[in-house]
Amino acid sequence: MEREHLIKPLLNQRYATVQYGKGVFLYDEHGKAYLDASSGAVTASIGHGVQEIIDAMIEQANKVSFVYRSQFTNEPAERLAKKLSDLAAGNDYWTFFVNSGSEATETAMKIAIQHWQEKGRHGKIKVLSRRMSYHGITLGALSMSGHVGRRRRFIPLLEDFPVVAPPYCYRCPFHMTYPECGIACADDLETAVKRIGAEHIAGFIAEPIVGAAGGAVVPPEGYYQKIKEICERNEILFIADEVMTGIARTGAMFGMEHWGVEPDLIALGKGMSAGYTPIAAAMVKDHVMEPILQGSKLVMAGHTFSANPQSAAVSLAVLDYIEKHDLAKAAEDKGAYLLSRLKELSDRCGMIGDVRGKGLLLAVEFVSDRAGKLPFPSANGVTSRIINKAFDKGLLVYPASGGVDGEGDAVILAPPLVITLDEIDLLVNTFEQTVHEVMLEVMG
């Protein structure tokens, strides 16, 4: 065996080597096909190997791939910023481009803090978040993340921002039921603000639908309207982390559209380029930029690759493709079909506790006892078992935690939005076999 050099996520695991991708399938070095039921990490939303995107990539590469943003602006980046504003509620967003979702949330956090600094409100520096959340892996983004497993090693370096209860009706943190609860989880933001003091809080960040930290957790009706009202009343900027939910994934261009709420800032990533090249964004409403434009006239953020024309051209081509094929509508329709098929499946599989989500951002949570909603002991490694067994069968699914503090098991199913009904049937059949086999292993 030759020694290895590439650090891969799980160092004790042998990885298949991908050779190419086409549509919803990836193929490894042995020619084995994998149905990409998670779009990688909820990213490859238009599927693999789309010729229009490859053409746009080559066309831009023939002009110029990189310029440094302090020396030049470039047409693709200018057009992309305008396009995103045209797509978003209110149409009055500026955009700062970065290269990953973590950079996007961290940049949004810094711009929110800077907004208050420019107004002379120097104490407003905390960005509160929910306990069940994931906003990225860099230290600022991780400080806002309530993902227990990903925080653990770095706790002494992190801020304690995830203090608000999640809107997780399946296992309500307050042991209440909607609507009698009066949306107590939204009131929990108000409680945190009172305890910490609005004069110390710059913003509140939330994923419209919780992704990796909970598995497609959709809040109850009225939740975000209440959150926005609490934020406005307390002079707290509302940041929507749309890294996973953005760009048609949930059946709308932005997840927050489902609740008619206009965020002050939006973080985007993943689906923005559908994985064809790294690009992400922090979108900032006019009123948030205003004091910066009047004040220091400088945004203290950015990376060498920010707003490079190559990635911007790819993202423009991806957005065109999504609009041309009406993939937001496709996500809604195909998502409804996949959700109904998964609900049928849950009737046949005792270990499926909950099936949930919106559009093509869906998840299945596993329990050892359905009536009591009891999670499996973590030593059972149910999520890993599902993922590995599905992989053996040529099906890619994405891990999520489930449970308010990561104590549960769940997987996300989020195939490319171009998936056909036949491909969904193949997905569900393979997933059913997977779940049955794992059920035999862990429940006997």
> Which residues lie near ligand PMP (CB under 6 A)?
41, 100-102, 105, 134-137, 207, 211-212, 241, 243-244, 269
Tell me how far, at minimum, the Cβ of 131 lies from ligand PMP, in Å.
Answer: 15
Task: Tell me how far, at minimum, the Cβ of 249 lies from ligand PMP, in Å.
Answer: 11
Q: Are 240 and 263 in contact (CB under 8 A)?
A: yes
Residue 282 in tokens: 């922090």
Determine the residue with CB nearest ligand PMP: 101
* Complex with ligand PMP: residue 246 or 353, whichever CB lies closer: 246
CA dist., res. 396 & res. 159, Å (int): 34
Instruction: Find out whether 357 and 207 touch, Cβ atoms under 8 Å.
Output: no
Smallest gap from residue 289 Cβ to ligand PMP (A): 22
Nearer of residues 207 and 354 to ligand PMP, judged by Cβ: 207
* 118 vs 167 by CB, closer to ligand PMP: 167
Distance CA 77, CA 25 (A): 30
Burial of 17 (0-12, 13-18, 19+ CB in 10 A): exposed
CB of 296 to ligand PMP, least distance (A): 27
Residue 142 beta carbon to ligand PMP: minimum distance, rounded to whole angstroms: 10
CB of 375 to ligand PMP, least distance (A): 22
* Identity of the residue, 137 or 196, whose beta carbon is nearer to ligand PMP in the bound complex: 137
Nearer to ligand PMP, 149 or 295 (CB): 149
Residue 97 to residues 116, 284, 312, 335, 377: CA-CA distances in angstroms?
21, 11, 9, 30, 42
Q: How far is the CB of 254 from ligand PMP (least distance, A)?
A: 13
Closest CB to ligand PMP among residues 56, 98 = 98
Q: Tokens 């909607």: give the residue.
A: 178
Nearer to ligand PMP, 208 or 353 (CB): 208
Contacts of 397 (CB under 8 A, 6+ apart): 37, 38, 386, 387, 390, 411, 412, 413, 431
CB of 351 to ligand PMP, least distance (A): 25
Q: How does DSSP classify residue 374?
A: B
In the complex, the smallest distance separating the C-beta of residue 43 from ligand PMP, rounded to whole angstroms, is 8
**Count of other CB atoms within 10 angstroms of residue 8:** 10
Report the first-to-last Cα separation within the chain, whole angstroms.
38
Residue (108 or 351) nearer to ligand PMP, CB? 108
Closest contact distance (angstroms) between CB of 242 and ligand PMP is 8
Q: Provide CB contacts within 8 A for 278, sequence distance 6+.
A: 99, 100, 305, 311
User: Number of helices and strands (H, E) in the chain?
Assistant: 13, 15
Q: Could you tell me where the beta strands, DSSP code E, fall in 38-146?
A: 93-98, 126-130
Beta carbon nearer to ligand PMP, 342 or 414 = 414
b/e map of 303-334 (b: 16 or more CB within 10 Å)?
Answer: eebbbbbbbbbbbbbbbebbeeeebbebbbeb
What does DSSP assign to residue 14? P
Of 211 and 403, the one with the shorter C-beta distance to ligand PMP is 211
Peptide bond into 309 cis (omega under 30): no
If the CB atoms of residues 211 and 375 are measured against ligand PMP, the closer one turns out to be 211
CA distances from 49 to 27, 45, 52, 222, 266 (A): 12, 12, 9, 40, 28
Q: Write the Ramachandran bin of 394: left for phi over 0, alpha for psi from -120 to 50, otherwise beta.
A: left
Which is closer to ligand PMP, CB of 243 or CB of 312? 243
Q: How far is the CB of 166 from ligand PMP (least distance, A)?
A: 13
* Residue from 214, 224, 284 nearest 255 by CA: 224
Query: From the CB of 24, what's the least distance to ligand PMP, in Å?
Result: 20
The gap from C-alpha 48 to its chain's centroid, in whole angstroms, comes to 19
